[in-house]
Each structure stands twice: as structure tokens, then as C-alpha cells.
Amino acid sequence: MRRLSGRLLSWLLLSILASLAFVALALWPPRRVDNVLYDALARTRERPADASILMVDIDDRSLAELGAWPWSREIHARMVDRLTAAGARAIVYDVLFSQPSDDPARDQALGAAIARSGRVYLPQFLIDAGQGAPPRVEGSIPEISQGAAGVGLAHVRFDEDGVVRRMAPFEADGTGLGPDLMTVVYRATLGDRRPDPTLGADETMLIPFAGPPSLYKRVSFSSVVDGEVPASLIAGRTVFVGLTAPGLGPAFPTPVTPDAASMTGVQLQASILDGLRSGQMIQAAGPGGRVAFALTLLWLLLAGLLALPPRANLALTLGLGLVGLAYSAALFWLGHVWLSPVAPVVGLLVVALLWGWTQLGRVNDLLGQQLARVRSVVRGRGREPVDFESDVVARQASSLGEAITRMDDLRRFSADALFSLPDATLLADARGRVIAANAAARTLFKSVHAELVGTSLADLINTLEPLGQRFELDWPRETERDAPIDLHLSDGRAFQLQTVFRRDEAGASAGWIVRLADISILTAAMRQREQALQLLTHDMRSPQTSILALLATTPELPREVSDRIAAYARRTLALADGFVQLARAEVTPVSLEPVDLVDIAVEAIDEVWPQSVQRKIRIEQFGDDAPLMVMGDRSVLARALVNLLGNAVKYGPEGSTITVTLAEKPSANGPSAVVTIADQGPGFSREEAATAFRPFQRFERPGHDLAVSGVGLGLAFVQAAVARHGGEVSCRSETGVGAEFTVRLPKLGLVP
């Protein structure tokens, strides 16, 4: 596997750690900081209050006119009758009548008024039982509450900072879940107009305060009892009756109240009902949504950190932070969902800073290394040393100037080296027109073309009139590297044509480099080599074959002499065959095609099967359950495996076992197809194993006559064949414990 660069490793490490941190922050956000932003958004979220809500305040005026609190229950009965007669749609009486009065008749009178109305809703409260016991529910006495239209829990939920921001449609009341009072009122007055947000809701919902309590229409309790309030102001409204006088009842801090405790319980209940009716109760985003939001912002930033320059990353960081804030605000205002952006946005800034510091350190280290290299190069060339006592910018500028000078010198050196090459070399532009030629190229084309610069490459090569070759006008095509082309001219000369496609720094076409190497001497040598191989394959084989035929028809010779002559003749034949096979394996191009190494191993086993049966040797094959595809020449690979198996059969003791194991194994260059052949023969010493693949290398073994045991070219052929396929072969052995030969080939899909 290719080693990752330091920058990519840093990015991966930062990505993993940041992702884990963002997930943790999304699951366990910093509540206090989130609450600050939530309160700011809540105060900017303006909407009209529910006009159907009327607040009847038990205020200072009422206390002054009706006397000190608590009042007689006759007064409350008169209030219920007044509101009912005026046509109130619903009456939320936020007063707890938990104790009977001194006169039971007064309790019965209030209960009768509530029953006659049929529109009165009374609160219940959760009382802490202490000592770990579940809370108990306390409500109005039965004489009063039994005629109510509904009762519910008026429980106040506080956040960690003591501010009231949410309500629960249902509360645990010790025996189960009891509905909140506003859940009861909302459902009773909902009708069929809109869906019910309390159905299937989360445990809590955030309250969408329309604003401070002063937004709702308010009248004094005493003015209603005295008949001063016209019935038209009450008719059709939901009337909240409760304590609002300072110090008379509890008050709670909320995001929209100007001081720490300025919203009373009845005003809080009115705000909750307003939020339910408006359909704007705010749902807190779940863990999955928070994680997805945070990771989306993070990975957009991480992708930019890897792909964009520093200035663009700064803009990306700020932009993603603004997008996170805007998206959270849009969800809050339009989607009624609270998705805090505080942790992700702060996390983005931290990640960007960490990445910037990391890369700044890497750049500083790299710059220091390059500055040292520049100083070394400059001094080595006899230049005056750079003044490294000045400031950092000056040092960098000085070193950059020296580097540019050095690069310019290197460019000139490269150009001089290119055009002094002994082979004819041409440079062409993106259109295939010659733009430069070295001295060897001018000499080659001098007799066939007067002017090289500006000439098409195809036309120029065609002027040589290569035998059997003709290049079209669109040659060469845009490929990274073309296969070499052999050109044979009518005068007997031969050239190898090689083209290399060039690209500029932007990746666009920059033209070609064309080289024509004179291979006339090499071609003549190849012809002589083929003639030598022909001599071996025919002229040397024919006499040996005749000797064997003569021995078979001449019984007069003694048997021992005849066998000895035949053995030498066969050895000579084997030597000729082995030499020819080795020579062709080393230089002859192999014909690559997709082949199954398992099938080739089976063929090789079948070929040596007669010899193995004769010597009672068993061959076992493992790992042949699935195909093992490679790019190779089937006949060459089969001959290589036959050579290895033949040696294993030849040197293995009778009755032994040969194992052939095929497997796919990882390697530095990717998956490899591996064939391992292990025998139980005499094995090799370490010195012998190191030289086993040398041509004509043979080792004396007990019971094997060197005259008939082989010529020492079989393993050399195996090594040459495997190398031509881009693989390798190795031997592992110890004397007396057998030998194990392993062939590794690139698996199909990899370039050998």
C-alpha cells in the first residue's frame, strides 16, 4: 500500500478526532451557552398574541377593593357566574382550592357555579413527597372540582439555569402520566381545525412566547365581579383567572421577561396555550439531527481544508459559521425547531485554527529544510553565502532567488543534455509540429528534408520510407507513452521509434518528445542469435536423435555401453531444449492474456502424473476453490510449473507427498497470485538455495546420476519466465527436510 503523505495523515487524524468531538458536543451540548443564543432568538421572534385570550388579574386593585387574600369562595362563585353569563368560551381558574372552607355551603356554592358553567378548568400541582418517593398530585377538593370541565397539572419546568423555556404535555404523577392543564384546555377547545401537537410529541416542547405578559388583553378581577367589564369583551374568549399581584403568587424568569421573575403562573399558562393554538410550539432537534447538522458543517470544512488554499479556507470557515447560524435561525423562525449552532460553529473555528497551526508548523519545517538545501547548493557552487542574519522574509526572498537561479541553470543543463544525446531526438508542439531537433536528428533527416522546424512529425518520419510502415497525419495521439515501433529502412538500417506525450503544469497538452534510436547492430545481433537457436534446435538435435535410433537397432553393443551412450545423447538433447527455452523466455515477448493459475496448475500436475505414479508419489492441491486470474502466457507459465513439479517428483523419495498450494496474498504492489510447491526430498543447503536459479547449476544427490539427472536449466527457465510476467520466484529449504518453491505473480488488473 502506498504510504500516505504527512499532510493527508494529519488531515485524517484531525478528521477522526474532530468528528468524535462534534458527535460528543451534539449529544451533550453546552446547555448554558445554547440557552443564551436561544433567548436572544426568542426575543427577536415577534408575533401577535392570541386575541381570544383574556387575562383576569387578581391584582393590587382587586385586593384593595375585595379585601385581603384569600377571598371568600362566594366571590369566586360570583366570578364564575359572571364569566359564564358573559359567554366565555373557556375559563381557566388558576387557583387551588385544596382545603375546605369554614362553611361547607360556600364550597358547595362554588362547586355548583363551576358545574353550571361547564367551562371551568382547574389546576393540579405536583407535591414533592420527599425521601425518594414519587410526587403526589394535589388539586381542589372534590366538592369544587367534580363539576369542572377538566383538570390538569400546572407544573413548571426549569432549565439548568433556572429559566422557564419549556413545557411537558404530560407529566409523571407518581402512578403514570398526567396531562398538563394546557393540554386539557387545548384539546377541549381545539375542534377539527388543526393537528394536535401534543399527540406523539417529545417529552417536552419549547414555549414560543409571543412576548411579555402585557401583550394579552387584561382586566382586573374586581372590575369583572362588579360588572364594570362589558360582556362583549368576554364573549367567545378563553379567560385566565389567576394571581398577578406582586408577592401574592410565584413568578418565573423566562426568555422574554425583562427581569429575573416577572411572569406569574397564570401568565405562563396563557403563553403555553397561545403557543399550542398558534401551531408554533418549538421542538428541540433530536440527537440524530444534531449529529447530522454538526458533521455536515464539519466535513464541508474538512473537504475545503484539504482542497482549498488558506485564504479560501478562511472564507469557507466564516461562511460555514454564518450558514450554521442562519440555518439554525431559519429553523427556529420558520420550522419551529430549535437546533443550536453554538457547538458546531465554535468547533469549526477551533478545527480551522488547529489545521492552520498544524500546516503552519509543517510549512515552517519544510521551509527550513529547503532553505538549508538552497544554502548548501549555493555554497557548493562557489557562490557567496546568503545573509541569514536578516529577518525571515528577507531570508526567504534571498533563498528563493538562489533557488530560481539554480533552477534556471538546471533547465539550461537539461536542454544541453537533451540535444547532445547520441540518438536522434525531436520536440513537437501540441499540434504535432517539430519545434526543435538535436544534432543527431538533423543529421538523420538532412538528406530527406531540408527544414525540420514546423514540419509535421508524421510527414517527417514518412520521408524515411520505413518498410511496411505509414503514419497518418493525426500521429502521434495523446497518450502518456506509446509502445516502441521498430522501423526498418530499405538501406538495411533499423531504428526504434519512441514517443513520450508531455503535459504542462495545468495538465493541458504540451506536445511530444520523439526519439529514434539506431538499432541496426542490435537487429543484426538478433538475427545471428536466431540462427544460433536454429542451430541448436535442428543441427544439434538431429545427430543425437540419429544416435538414439542407431542404438535402438544395434543390439550387438553391450547393454551398459548402449545405455551410457543413450543417456549422453538424451542429455545433449535436453541441454539443447533447455537452452532454447531459456533463451526464448529471457528475450522473446510473452503473449499476455487473462489466464486462471488454478487451471494451469492442474495441467502441470496432469503432465507429471505418469512420473509421480511410477515413483508412488502423491500430489495434493490446495486452494483451488476459486479462480486465481493473472495476465500471462499460458504455455510459458505451464512449462515453469512443470519444471518445478518435475524436480519435486525427480528428487522426492518414493511414497512421499508433494503439495501444491494456490492463494491470493497481499503485497506492497497489491494482491498477488501465489503458487507454492513443496516436496519432501533431500532439500538444499542455504548456499545451494541461493544459487539454485543460476543456469547450468546442478547439485549432486544420493541416488541421482549427474549424467541423467538434468542439465541445470530448468530452474533458470522458471526464474526467467516468472520475471517476464512481472513476478518473482523464491526457494526456501533446509538440507534433509525438502524444498519449497514459491511463485508470485501480479493478480489480474495490475500492470506487471
For 470-514, how does the pLDDT look when each residue is reduced to its tens digit (9 = 90+)?
888 778 877 656 678 888 887 778 888 778 887 776 777 778 788
Q: Are residues 263 and 300 in the same domain?
A: no
| Rounded (10°) angle between helices 265-278 and 181-190 | 40
Contact in structure between 461 and 495 (CB atoms under 8 Å): no
CATH number at residue 648: 3.30.565.10
Q: For position 506, what pLDDT does the model report?
A: 72
What pLDDT sits at residue 222?
Answer: 94
Instruction: Identify the domain containing residue 379 by its residue range.
Output: 364-409
- Do 114 and 68 belong to one domain? yes
End-of-domain residue from the set 251, 279, 307: 279
Residue 543: CB atoms within 10 Å? 11
In a domain, 13, yes or no: no
Specify which residues 434 forms β-bridges with. Answer: 428
The region, left, alpha or beta by phi > 0 then psi within -120 to 50, assigned to residue 658 is: beta
Across-strand partners of 217? 54
Residues 133, 270 within the same domain: yes
Residues 484 and 624 in one domain: no
Residues of the chain with pLDDT under 70: 1-6, 191-194, 200-202, 258-261, 363-419, 447-450, 479-482, 505, 524-542, 544-546, 548-553, 556-557, 559-564, 566-590, 695-713, 749-752
Statement to judge: residues 90 and 159 lie in one domain: yes
- Secondary structure letter of residue 535 according to DSSP: I
| One domain, residues 270 and 314 | no
Q: Is residue 381 part of a domain?
A: yes
Using alpha carbons, select from 733, 600, 585, 586 the residue that is nearest to residue 673.
600
Nine cell digits for residue 675? 503458487
Looking at the structure, do residues 58 and 160 belong to the same domain, yes or no?
yes
512 plus 527 within the same structural domain:
no
Q: Please say which residue of 322, 337, 358 terminates a domain.
A: 358
Q: Say whether both 28 and 135 belong to one domain.
A: no
Q: Please check whether residue 249 lies inside any domain of the structure.
A: yes
Claim: this prediction has a pTM higher than 0.85: no
The residue among 503, 518, 533 that closes a domain is: 518
Rg, the chain, Cα only: 48
**Distance of alpha carbon 64 from alpha carbon 165, whole angstroms:** 33
The string of DSSP codes covering 664-701 is EE--TTS-EEEEEEE--S----HHHHHTTTSTT-----
Phi and psi, residue 262, nearest 5°: -130, 15
Same-domain status, 344 and 403: no
Residues 308 and 390 in one domain: no
Say how far apart CA 210 and CA 463 lie, in whole Å. 91
Please report the pLDDT score of residue 62 as a whole number: 93
